[in-house]
């Protein structure tokens, strides 16, 4: 926690490794969640390595967090839409079938 | 540790149920499955449009149907599968393969492909019909 408050320490700490870019997860969200949020995730994923190569470690870290955020929102939205839709429609179809 | 296994089990259960539903029912013209909210509201095909139909087709080994629904679906799935197979091998048997998706320019190339695909499948010309679900 104290590392995050001190940007200098945070920067040296992060210089060793490129932050995770969540590319694979974003691709999966793009394919399966039918919402363009996965594409926003891919945009931020591409910023991670661009900024990292340019030496902007704090920026790369920030893009990594953004990529994760949009990927997660896409995933959550996709799952919520699919599950609630299946539940509502499933119940309706079942109820209609039971009536006949 | 116990909690992780529970999560894994629940995810497996949910995936099995979805696999069964997508195998049994054709998402096209079936009320059970949601329509893409973006396409329903704007009429735009996003790069993921057709994935439900592609999933159904793939579960029936209808490869042509998969490509007709979403031409990038199978390549993307194979790519992600290859990535996770390498990662799993590295984790469990100690190999040190690096996946092409870990290369620095992988995100930019992916983005370029996805954006071009997105534009192309929405162009109002007959030549691009094969890109539409």
Neighbours of A12 (CB within 10 A): 12
pLDDT tens per residue, range A17-75: 888 888 888 888 888 876 778 888 899 998 898 898 888 889 999 999 999 998 899 88
Structurally, chain A folds into a number of domains equal to 1
Query: In terms of Cα–Cα distance, which of A68, A58, A55 is closest to A20?
Result: A68
pLDDT tens per residue, range B22-69: 888 888 877 778 877 788 888 888 888 888 889 999 999 999 989 988
Q: Which two tokens stand for residue A24?
A: 């694979």
Q: Write out chain B residues lying below 8 Å of A93, CB-based.
A: 31-32
Query: In terms of Cα–Cα distance, which of A18, A14, A40, A76 is closest to B103?
Result: A18
Query: In terms of Cα–Cα distance, which of B51, B56, B55 is closest to B25?
Result: B56
ipTM: 0.79
B46 with A81: Cβ contact below 8 A:
no
Q: Write out chain A residues lying below 8 Å of B72, CB-based.
A: 31
| A33 in B contact zone (CB under 8 Å) | yes
- pLDDT at residue B50, rounded to an integer: 87
Provide the terminal-to-terminal Cα distance of chain B, rounded to the nearest Å.
42
pLDDT tens per residue, range B90-125: 989 988 888 888 888 888 898 899 899 989 999 888
A42 with B49: Cβ contact below 8 A:
no
Distance CA A78, CA A28 (A): 11
Interface-testing mutation among A18, A21, A22, A30, with chain B (most B C-beta atoms within 10 A): A30
- pLDDT at residue A9, rounded to an integer: 47
B107 with A31: Cβ contact below 8 A:
no
- pLDDT at residue B97, rounded to an integer: 86
CB B47 within 8 A of CB B72: yes
Give the minimum alpha-carbon distance from A22 to chain B in angstroms, rounded to a whole number.
9
Nearest CB to A49: which of B48, B79, B104? B104
């Amino acid at each position: 926690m104290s590392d995050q408050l001190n940007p200098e320490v945070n920067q040296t700490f992060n210089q060793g490794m490129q932050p995770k870019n969540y590319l694979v997860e974003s691709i999966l969200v793009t394919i399966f969640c039918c919402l363009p949020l996965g594409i926003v995730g891919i945009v931020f994923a591409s910023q991670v390595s661009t900024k990292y190569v340019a030496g902007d470690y704090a920026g790369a870290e920030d893009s990594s967090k953004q990529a994760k955020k949009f990927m997660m929102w896409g995933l959550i939205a996709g799952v919520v839409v699919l599950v609630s839709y299946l539940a509502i429609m499933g119940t309706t179809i079942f109820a209609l079938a039971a009536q006949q | 540790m116990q909690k992780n296994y529970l999560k894994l089990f629940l995810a497996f259960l949910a995936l099995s149920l979805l696999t069964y539903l997508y195998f049994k029912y054709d998402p096209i013209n079936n009320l059970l499955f949601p329509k893409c909210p973006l396409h329903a509201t704007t009429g735009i095909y996003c790069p993921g449009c057709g994935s439900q139909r592609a999933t159904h087709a793939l579960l029936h080994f209808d490869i042509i149907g998969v490509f007709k629904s979403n031409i990038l679906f199978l390549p993307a799935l194979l790519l992600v599968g290859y990535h996770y197979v390498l990662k799993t091998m590295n984790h469990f048997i100690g190999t040190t393969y690096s996946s092409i998706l870990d290369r620095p320019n992988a995100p930019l190339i992916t983005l370029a492909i996805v954006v071009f695909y997105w534009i192309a499948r929405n162009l109002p010309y007959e030549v691009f019909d094969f890109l539409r679900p």
